[in-house]
Structure 1
Amino acid sequence: MNTENVTYFPSIDNIKVAADTIKNVSAVTPLGQSLRYSKKYGANIFLKREDLQQVRSYKIRGAFNKISSLSKDEAKKGVVCASAGNHAQGVALSCKLLQIKGTIYMPAPTPNQKVEQVKMFGDDYVTIILEGDTFDDAYHLAKAECEELHKTFIHPFNDKKVIEGQATIGLEILEQTDVPIDYVFIAVGGGGLAAGLSTVFKTLSPKTKIIGVEPKGAPSMSTSIKNNKNITLQHIEKFVDGAAVKRVGDLTFPICKASLYDMITVPEGKVCQTILELYNKDAIVVEPAGALSISALDFYAEDIKGKNVICVVSGSNNDITRTSEIKERALLYANLKHYFIIKFPQRAGALKEFVVDILGENDDITYFQYAKKTNRENGSAVVGIQLKSSNDLDPLIAKMKQQKFYGDYLNNKPDLFQFLV
């Protein structure tokens, strides 16, 4: 193991202590083979179901391990965290179980469903403060309270005790199987899980290749490893909210750089396909970050043939109000949903002509926005069309151009697409 320039590396002894600390709080989640994915990839694919934790994610491990390590004086002063998701729930439940007062800062736009979950887990031991427009706003407010009142900040990933708590997943996996593990795929956000789990395998199962997976729109760990320094991204796509951070941990970065076999990014649309597939075919509900590890299998399909592969399903806190967006992103990624500016002649029957003569029998109009301009020959409409097959796109565009309906294609013009659709 290359530990050069690594100032902190979690020890197996400390990880075992963490496992003992959380044993009555964190469930030993199932590790089971997925027959469907195993058949699809010609490999033995196992799912480590951290989505089945009480708080529906692995975050309880690190949060409880950290908070339970506080001194009596620190515990008396209380703890603070900033989170709009899984970390908040892990901290809330830990506070209730350890009878320690906690304050949780969440951005004001946080969906009420998430706020209610945190209230439920924390009960009377947690105070929720909804302030700021973004996570960064909530984070700075939380840090300010810690400094003013000398409370302990519970970081979601950049903390030794948190890293060691998340690492216990690695110990469990090795205890749950007696077959040699060739690959483990894990989601990477700030790097707490990746740093902890990769350490366990590098020490106890060094031949296992640990593959970190990030959303394409938030490649903070990938970018940092490529540049050999921890880099703060200026802009990120926040859809995969459980793994979308601008900067990974200063503690986690060198560990991941030394211990991960590879870092790959997965398009958000592919993640959405996996979410829908797991729900429709396996009755498994996952959040976007929870689908990252399985989504990565397509990009490693040749390498994993005949191998023993584990995907850590990290969480299932998915907001049902996002379902329409998930479907939309999945269709766009599959090249089945397309948006156009269509030029309609301003005469009776133009729309019928478009539907009958241009669209295929399996094509469906899913979006239509039209404004009539009485002083022009043509009126433009923004039209969304869902295809049966991605191969139908080129013939569709050809017919539009031939019969002079074609105005513009919007899918590859993100600024215009977001403005019009």
Structure 2
Amino acid sequence: MKSNTTSSIKKGAQHVPPYFPQLKDIQQAAKVIAQVADETPLQKSIRYSKQLEANVWLKREDLQRVRSYKIRGAFNKINSLSPESLKQGVVCASAGNHAQGVAFACNHLGVEGTIFMPVVTPKQKIDQTKMFGGDRVQVVLEGDTFDDSYKASKIFCEEEGKTFVHPFDDPKTIEGQATIGLELLHQAQEPIDYVFVAVGGGGLASGLCATFKELSPNTKIIGIEPAGAPSMKKSMEKGELVELSQIDKFVDGAAVQKVGAFTFPICCNHLFKMETVPEGKVCQTILELYNRDAIVVEPAGALTIAALDDFKDEIKGKNVVCIISGSNNDITRTAEIKERALLYGNLKHYFIVRFPQRPGSLKEFVVDILGPNDDITHFEYSKKSSRENAPAVVGIELKSPEDLEPLISRMKDNNFYGDYLNNKPDLFQYLV
């Protein structure tokens, strides 16, 4: 799913940013966060380098002490506050990673914090936030998306007279995230041709753009968004900030309805390209990293690697860095991750099966209709009573995508076929 966004970036570049990170401020941020943030490894991926015929390096921010890069911006922002503001306390909204960075900073600096998170936030991220914050932090679950939590947190912040610590749209936050660029340039043994970075609100992407503009202007920064939440891409295409009415919340660390007023013009002017990646491809990448490299990542952490296939011709023979942004994944999501990966790979299919009114039809379906490598992974009658006459929703996992058409043909020839649900998203969501 390659997207041609060069023209949209040029259109967005008409905007003059109200702020652009200065190298001296980024270098100062590096000194500030040195007391809490680790210098994470830059590791060469033998597998991806061989597969893509490029030198692919992974910047392992998933190994940060809060398991994401967000501690950098959160700590830099909170540390910059006046004693009066620190005494009054801070507020933030987060889908999980920024929350943990803020919680850690609050505990370390002795600051009271109130953290708003969406109700759908994985339990693992909520528990980690409470653990890092200790008795300094209160967690409030509000709304279905980051944007819902953000709106509620801003109201609370104004009512209580506290300081808001923005997850991406704040100069101090951006400068903290930008320190990754300093580390990359210090660690890299050769010039970096490409950096792939996940884009949610755009804080990390903006910080990297600033660092590389000053220190390595020939490096191309490529932003990656989930296809179900392309807020930066849509904004670039329109040439102004766009708020999406609906988003797919699955890639929770990079799913926002609206990017930042600070970050949008920076990304417009300095990102080389914006790319979107389907959520199913992200899930495939998560499973591959775990099974083949023993690397555990959250969906947002897999975005950059998931995009590499779309750039294989462009990056061939080049030095490429992928930012692995975080590893705060909840094991309870594994079933959904596998399901999305199989659906994207055209290996999982759902049907309405109408069993003929003849004895032994269910046995016939299993023995004669299914292929030798096909597995039933979901089976539910549409009616609990009169099952022998009721159609059923059946999920089937295939060994190969090529097995689908023969399966459908056997179902139709023997009067089992009712409907195919994968290409009917509304019905699919309702029944499965």
Same fold (TM over 0.5): yes
Instruction: Confirm whether residue 152 of structure 1 aligns to residue 163 of structure 2.
Output: yes
Q: Which moved more, 1:387-396 or 1:397-406?
A: 397-406
Deviations 1:38-63 (A, max 9, x none): 11111110000000001000000000
Pairwise CA RMSD of aligned residues? Answer: 1.8
Which residue identity lines up with residue 43 of structure 1 in the other structure? A
1:385 aligned residue (396, 399, 413): 396
Identity %: 67
Aligned to 1:264: 275
Aligned to 1:9: 20
Aligned runs of 1:231-242 on 2, under 5 Å? 231-242=242-253
Aligned runs of 1:21-420 on 2, under 5 Å? 21-371=32-382, 379-420=390-431
- Distance in 1 between the 2:14 and 2:365 partners? 65
- Distance in 1 between the 2:246 and 2:190 partners? 42
Q: Are residues 174 and 336 of structure 1, via their aligned partners in 2, closer, same or farther at CA, if it must alter by over 3 Å? A: same
Task: Return 5+ residue gaps in structure 2 as ranges.
Answer: 1-9
Task: Return 5+ residue gaps in structure 1 as ranges.
Answer: none
Question: What is the DSSP-based 3-state SS (H/G/I as helix, E as strand, rest coil) of the residue aligned with 1:128?
Answer: strand
Q: Are residues 225 and 7 of structure 1, via their aligned partners in 2, closer, same or farther at CA, if it must alter by over 3 Å? A: same
- Distance in 2 between the 1:141 and 1:98 partners? 25
- 8 Å CA contact 2:356–2:415 kept in 1: the answer is no
- Distance in 1 between the 2:147 and 2:181 partners? 30
Which residue identity lines up with residue 335 of structure 1 in the other structure? N
Shift of 1:4: 5.8
Shift of 1:110: 3.8
Aligned to 2:5: none
- Distance in 2 between the 1:142 and 1:374 partners? 49
Question: What is the DSSP-based 3-state SS (H/G/I as helix, E as strand, rest coil) of the residue aligned with 2:284?
Answer: helix
Q: Which moved more, 1:259-268 or 1:347-356?
A: 347-356
- Distance in 1 between the 2:33 and 2:306 partners? 30
TM-score, length basis structure 2: 0.94
Shift of 1:418: 0.7
- Distance in 1 between the 2:387 and 2:257 partners? 48
Q: Are residues 374 and 58 of structure 1, via their aligned partners in 2, closer, same or farther at CA, if it must alter by over 3 Å? A: closer
Question: What is the DSSP-based 3-state SS (H/G/I as helix, E as strand, rest coil) of the residue aligned with 2:152?
Answer: helix
Shift of 1:15: 0.6
- Distance in 2 between the 1:135 and 1:376 partners? 43
- Distance in 1 between the 2:16 and 2:347 partners? 48
Which residue identity lines up with residue 391 of structure 2 in the other structure? S
- Distance in 1 between the 2:171 and 2:108 partners? 21
- 8 Å CA contact 2:124–2:328 kept in 1: the answer is no
Question: What is the DSSP-based 3-state SS (H/G/I as helix, E as strand, rest coil) of the residue aligned with 1:315?
Answer: coil
- Distance in 1 between the 2:290 and 2:106 partners? 32
Of the two structures, which has the highest relative contact order with CA contacts closer than 8 Å and spacing of 6 or more?
A: 2
Q: Which moved more, 1:138-147 or 1:183-192?
A: 138-147
- Distance in 2 between the 1:375 and 1:11 partners? 71
